[in-house]
């Protein structure tokens, strides 16, 4: 499970799949991500927009780069398992959830 340290800048590469297969995300799609509580009732950070031109992104292979700034992660006060919610809207919305662990940063 990926750890997210509060107060750190987050940059995660997430490979999305539909029905177990790689797919292409249209370059004009809207892709957003947010850190949410495990029960999906609370947004902990975000949403942030994901870009098809972010370093490392490959939307033709559904590889999304999620970047959450330290100002957003620094505001998190819940230290527990959580979810990274990613939504792709390319004429219809699809959502994925990835398990993460929120860890308190001290420096």
Structure tokens at 56: 């490392």
Residue with tokens 């230290």: 79
Asked whether the beta carbons of 14 and 86 are under 8 A apart, the reply is: yes
Class of domain 2-103: mainly beta
Predicted model pTM: 0.94
Each domain of the chain, given as residue ranges in start order, spans 2-103
pLDDT, one tens digit per residue, over 36-79 is: 999 999 999 999 999 999 999 999 999 999 999 999 999 999 99
Separation CA 26–CA 62 (nearest Å): 9
Does residue 16 register a pLDDT over 90?
Answer: yes
């Amino acid at each position: 499970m990926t750890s997210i340290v509060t107060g750190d800048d987050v940059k995660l590469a997430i490979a999305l799949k539909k029905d177990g297969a790689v797919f292409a995300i249209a370059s004009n799609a809207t892709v957003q991500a947010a850190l949410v509580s495990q029960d999906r009732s609370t947004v902990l950070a975000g949403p942030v927009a994901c870009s098809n031109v972010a370093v490392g992104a490959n939307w033709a292979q559904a590889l999304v780069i999620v970047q959450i700034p330290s100002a957003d992660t620094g505001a998190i006060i819940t230290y527990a398992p959580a979810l990274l919610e990613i939504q792709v809207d390319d004429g219809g919305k699809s959502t994925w959830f990835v398990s993460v662990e929120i860890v308190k940063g001290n420096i």
